[in-house]
Amino acid sequence: MTFPPSAVQSLRIPTFDDVRAAQARLSGMAHRTPVLTSRTANTRSGATLYFKAENLQRAGAFKFRGAYNAIAALEAGVRKNGVVAYSSGNHAQAIAYAAMLQGVPATIVMPHDAPEIKVAATKGYGAEIVFYDRYNENREEIAGRLATKRGASLIPPYDHPDVIAGQGTAALELIEEVGEIDMLVVPLGGGGLLAGCALAAKALSPGCAILGVEPEAGNDGQQSLRKGEVVHIPVPKSIADGALSTHVGYHNFPILQDKVGGISTVSDAQLVDTMRFFAERMKIIVEPTGCLAAAAVLQGAVPCEGKRVGIILSGGNVDLKVFAALMADA
């Protein structure tokens, strides 16, 4: 779902009221994931860190929130025609699972090189998968054609108001649990999670600084904020497979411009080091993309000494063979 800049004014940009409405739809469906702390992490960063563990969410990532909310928000007559989505994995699994729970047919457009664990989970939830070549084909065009042909609703991974609102419930829960924070650091791929969390954080903790973190190899969000318009880049190559977007969404960009104070980047090596930290010291598995925000804080890319900092761990869907190989090479 790509919009030219001239069309942005007509988009429905979500608000905090939409995040609250999403929270009501998700009640009893999405896990209220734990907020984890670590004395070692606090010492290493010089701050008090609160990790929102969305790696423990249903379908293994925060994406379940936006996927379920977007499907639930559809009118019943529309919902029966099914949904189409495109994703490298986490949104794919989330849409497939959320659709299964609501009795809705789902078709997912996935790249040929998507992680095996994510493909298997998506199939396991009953979705039809249509594969494409991420380097030579346009997934948005493929999904758009399928949705039109089938009369289905297209639910993109981040450029959709109800998806953004659903993702924002992660930060809403975090701040409800720990109180106001000085800083919120969030992984950034297409920007749905960051935009939704920014809506919640600014409403519940107005003085909170909000920062996004994306892979060093794919800093389209950083470029976009600096230029003041959505910048498109070639498909980046990084182990953070959930953040290999070529541009941020037009629904979320105005929110990022208004509420996000900056965007940092981290390297693949820093992501691996952070994965090891979580496995060794906190006994949890976090996928590379899920480590983006934490890596920036623990590696010093985001100075936060003396602050109360919320960090979103966005997912834990990493193939164990890949995880073992990354840990062995670290």
Question: Cα(238)–Cα(30) distance, rounded to whole angstroms?
Answer: 29
Q: Please give the single-letter amino acid code of residue 193.
A: L
Tally of CB atoms within 10 A around 29: 15
**What range defines the domain where residue 236 resides?**
14-61+160-329
Contact between 22 and 69 (Cβ < 8 Å): yes
Cβ distance 214 to 155 under 8 Å?
Answer: no
Q: 159, 162, 173, 214: which one is catalytic?
A: 214
pLDDT of 22 reads 98
Is there a single domain that holds both residue 48 and residue 101? no
Catalytic residue selected from 238, 314, 315, 316: 314
Last residue of a domain, one of 154, 172, 194: 154
Residues 164 and 136 in one domain: no
Domain identity same for 25 and 70: no
Q: How is residue 59 written in tokens? A: 């379908």
Assess whether 283 carries a catalytic annotation. no
Mean pLDDT of 219-234: 96
Residue 78 domain flag: yes
- Residue 222 confidence (pLDDT) above 90: yes
Q: How high is the pLDDT of residue 1?
A: 46
For 44, other C-beta atoms within 10 Å of its C-beta total: 16
Question: Model confidence at 330, in pLDDT bands (50, 70, 90)?
Answer: low
Model pLDDT for residues 147-169, shown as the tens digit of each residue: 999 999 999 999 999 999 999 99
- 57 and 77 part of one domain: no
Q: Is 5 part of any domain?
A: no
pLDDT category of residue 114 using cuts at 50, 70 and 90: confident
Alpha helices of 102-185 — where are they, by DSSP H? 116-124, 139-150, 161-178
Name the percent of the chain lying above pLDDT 70.
Answer: 97
* Burial class of 271 by CB neighbour count within 10 A (0 to 12, 13 to 18, 19+): buried
Residue 295 maps to a domain: yes
218 in active site: yes
Residue 4 in domain: no
- Tokens describing residue 330: 């670290």
| Domain harbouring 169, CATH code | 3.40.50.1100
Which among 196, 218, 249, 290 is annotated as catalytic? Answer: 218
**Cα 135 from chain centre:** 21
| Mean pLDDT confidence for 120-143 | 93
- 192 shares its domain with 291: yes
In a domain, 3, yes or no: no
Q: What is the mean pLDDT of the segment spanning 32-56?
A: 98
Position 10 confidence tier, pLDDT thresholds 50, 70, 90: low
Co-location of 192 and 235 in the same domain: yes
**Residue 1 within a domain:** no
Is 238 annotated in the active site? no
| The last residue of a domain, from among 154, 184, 211 | 154
Of 135, 154, 173, the position where a domain reaches its end is: 154
Q: Are residues 79 and 217 in the same domain?
A: no
The one-letter amino acid at 198: A
Cα–Cα separations (whole angstroms), residue 111 to 64, 82, 249, 287: 20, 21, 19, 18
pLDDT of 6 reads 42
Reported as type and span, the H/E element at residue 210 is: strand 209-215
User: Choosing from 45, 87, 88, 238, which is the catalytic residue?
Assistant: 88
The DSSP element (H or E) to which 106 belongs, if any, is strand 106-111
Instruction: Write the CB contacts of 310 (distance below 8 Å, at least 6 apart in sequence).
Output: 50, 52, 171, 174, 175, 178, 181, 183, 184, 185, 201, 208
Which class for 43: exposed (0-12), middle (13-18), buried (19 or more C-beta within 10 A)? exposed
Residues 267-320 have pLDDT tens digits of 999 999 999 999 999 999 999 999 999 999 999 999 999 999 999 999 998 989
Lowest mean pLDDT among 4-18, 36-50, 227-241, 249-263: 4-18
Instruction: Choose, from 220, 241, 242, 245, the residue flagged as catalytic.
Output: 220
Does residue 130 share a domain with residue 274?
Answer: no
* Catalytic residue list contains 116: no
